[in-house]
């Protein structure tokens, strides 16, 4: 079903972290090839280990945004970085990539770091695929953008916004009068910051733009070393999306330091606003604390599989709450999500693709339900409301069985639950030649030609499918 070009789209409302309010979205670039355009950047993984399912919520948010915009007719340009070098969250601690090399007994070289990163990047992409998260259009790696990092630092240096101490080049936050404006945290205390204390710094909140390392790294105007963690996201986002772009997302833990640092260095380097809308997902908690590798309470996708769950069970679990609402993970909650997901799939699979009305009319998505689903998704990604609509449709006696199926699968473009290659997912559409035989069988049964009906059933079986008769018509499934 294609929405009429003249039919008004629902207003897109997004809760912007910068203002704290829900704001109507207007794109920066109006159209490309007749379509409105949205440019989005998402803070991606640091590929030093397998990610956990708490991390996945940030990428689920990115996927939900993309599905919503595409359903509203937008052309989406989606960028997600891969941090594979120089993650320096603390002034005094070793970066995670270096620690990972030591953990796995690999040499401390850039080649070994890239090899390690490539392995865990591939694992990350497999996790995205398992959760039916669309791969971003551009996945830049930090190690490929050192030149862009240096260019931004040089701009800041020329404007007098940096200073050099023995361990690197730092951004002078005192000279950025609006520092900390995202999330309204102008005074970031030491115990709130992952920057840590370095007695050589002018201010505890000043952050590294370039970290010196005489043994490992890249050459720069300030000597050999690594880019700071924050500069990498500024460099990659602006290279692919421009100095100002529409949407930037990440977890709420990135607001106080990482994202405020991105804003400060980007806007002072370019003289332009950096991002127009900021969206942040809440934590997935285990007990009273967020899921984290450092806390030892993290759960990977492989852990889900070992316990008999699927990644799609977890996707259903995430859909049950708005992205900005904290979620408490328990195995009991995941089991409840799995059971509900199985019931939904079974109900949809039991619906026929075509109605048994003598003509075998294919089901059509119901416009009213689709408009309600799109409006809910456009209202700051209200996935619980969209999910509830699926169940409402199943109970709606005014819709034919085939129309129910078509409507639910259309709305699933917003939810992303159906996967043709997933045994737990809604099955893919039956091939046209099989449907043609099924249509003939509908007519044979209407004419009470039982011999022909049985023969046509055998033809369907020969093509690898089975057909079952029920009160709602014929049900076709793959053998």
Tell me the DSSP string of 230-241. HHHHHHHHHHHH
Cβ(78)–Cβ(66) below 8 Å: yes
Q: What are the respective helix, strand and coil percentages of the chain, to the nearest 5? A: 45, 15, 40
| CA distance linking residue 13 with residue 1, whole number of Å | 24
The pLDDT value given to residue 116 = 93
Q: Provide the 3-class DSSP secondary structure of residue 328.
A: strand
Cβ(90)–Cβ(196) below 8 Å: yes
Residue that is last in its domain, among 290, 306, 322: 306
The pLDDT value given to residue 432 = 65
Q: Provide the 3-class DSSP secondary structure of residue 372.
A: helix
| DSSP-derived secondary structure letter, 144 | G
5: in domain: no
- Are 358 and 257 in a shared domain? no
| CA geometry: angle 36, 251, 76, nearest 5 deg | 15
- Are 340 and 254 in a shared domain? no
Specify whether the backbone of 300 is left (phi greater than 0), alpha (psi in -120 to 50) or beta. Answer: beta
The pLDDT value given to residue 295 = 61
Residue that is last in its domain, among 259, 291, 306: 306
315: in domain: no
Which range of residues forms the domain containing residue 302? 13-306
- Are 211 and 298 in a shared domain? yes
| Burial of 250 from C-beta contacts in 10 A (0-12 / 13-18 / 19+) | buried
- Are 280 and 412 in a shared domain? no
The pLDDT value given to residue 420 = 43
317: in domain: no
- CA 460, 466, 469, 474 torsion: positive or negative? negative
- Are 335 and 277 in a shared domain? no
- For the chain, how many structural domains are there in total? 2
The closest of 377, 409, 415, 408 to 394, measured between CA atoms, is 408
The pLDDT value given to residue 386 = 98
Tens of pLDDT, residues 95-127: 788 888 889 999 989 999 999 999 999 999 999
Tens of pLDDT, residues 304-327: 999 999 999 999 999 999 999 999
CATH number at residue 355: 1.20.120
| DSSP codes, 278-313 | EEEEPPEEETTEE--TTTT----HHHHHHTT--HHH
- Are 296 and 363 in a shared domain? no
Residue segments in the chain with a per-residue pLDDT below the cut of 70: 1-8, 86-94, 184-197, 293-296, 357-360, 419-432, 470-474, 477-479
The pLDDT value given to residue 193 = 45
| CA distance linking residue 425 with residue 422, whole number of Å | 5
Question: The pTM is what?
Answer: 0.84
């Amino acid at each position: 079903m294609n929405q009429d070009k003249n039919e008004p789209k629902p207003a897109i409302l997004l809760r912007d972290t910068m203002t704290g309010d829900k704001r109507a979205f207007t794109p920066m670039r109006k159209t490309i090839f007749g379509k409105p355009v949205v440019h989005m950047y998402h803070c991606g993984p640091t590929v030093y280990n397998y990610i956990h399912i708490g991390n996945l919520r940030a990428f689920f948010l990115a996927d939900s945004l993309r599905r919503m915009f595409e359903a509203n007719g937008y052309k989406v340009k989606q960028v997600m970085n891969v941090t594979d070098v120089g993650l320096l969250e603390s002034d005094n601690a070793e970066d995670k990539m270096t620690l990972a090399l030591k953990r796995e007994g690999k040499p401390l070289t850039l080649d070994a770091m890239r090899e390690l990163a490539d392995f865990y990047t591939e694992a990350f992409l497999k996790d995205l695929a398992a959760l039916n998260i669309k791969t971003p259009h551009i996945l830049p790696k930090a190690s490929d953008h050192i030149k862009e990092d240096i260019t931004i630092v040089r701009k800041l240096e020329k404007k007098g916004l940096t200073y050099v101490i023995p361990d690197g080049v730092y951004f002078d936050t005192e000279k950025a009068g609006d520092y900390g404006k995202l999330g309204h945290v102008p005074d970031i205390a030491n115990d709130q910051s992952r920057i840590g204390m370095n007695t050589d710094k002018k201010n505890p909140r000043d952050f590294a733009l370039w970290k010196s390392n005489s043994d490992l790294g890249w050459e720069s105007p300030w000597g050999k070393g690594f880019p700071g963690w924050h500069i990498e996201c500024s460099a990659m986002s602006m290279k692919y999306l421009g100095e100002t772009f529409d949407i930037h997302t990440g977890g709420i833990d990135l607001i106080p330091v990482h994202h405020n640092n991105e804003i400060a260095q980007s806007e002072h380097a370019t003289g332009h606003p950096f991002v127009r809308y900021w969206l942040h997902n809440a934590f997935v908690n285990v007990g009273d604390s967020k899921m984290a590798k450092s806390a030892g309470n993290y759960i990977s996708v492989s852990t889900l599989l070992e316990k008999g769950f699927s990644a799609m069970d977890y996707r259903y679990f995430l859909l049950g709450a708005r992205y900005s609402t904290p979620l408490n993970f328990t195995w009991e909650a995941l089991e409840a999500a799995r059971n509900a997901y199985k019931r939904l799939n079974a109900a949809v699979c039991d619906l026929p693709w075509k109605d048994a009305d003598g003509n075998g009319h294919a089901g059509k998505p119901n416009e009213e339900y689709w408009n309600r689903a799109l409006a809910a998704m456009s209202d700051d990604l209200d996935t619980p409301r969209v999910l509830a609509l699926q169940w409402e449709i199943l109970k709606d006696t005014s819709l034919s069985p085939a129309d129910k199926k078509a409507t639910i699968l259309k709305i699933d473009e917003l939810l992303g639950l159906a996967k043709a290659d997933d045994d737990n997912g809604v099955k893919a559409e039956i091939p046209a030649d099989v449907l043609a035989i099924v249509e003939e069988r509908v007519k044979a049964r209407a004419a009470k030609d039982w011999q022909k009906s049985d023969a046509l059933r055998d033809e369907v079986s020969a093509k690898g499918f089975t057909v079952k008769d029920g009160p709602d018509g014929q049900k076709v499934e793959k053998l």
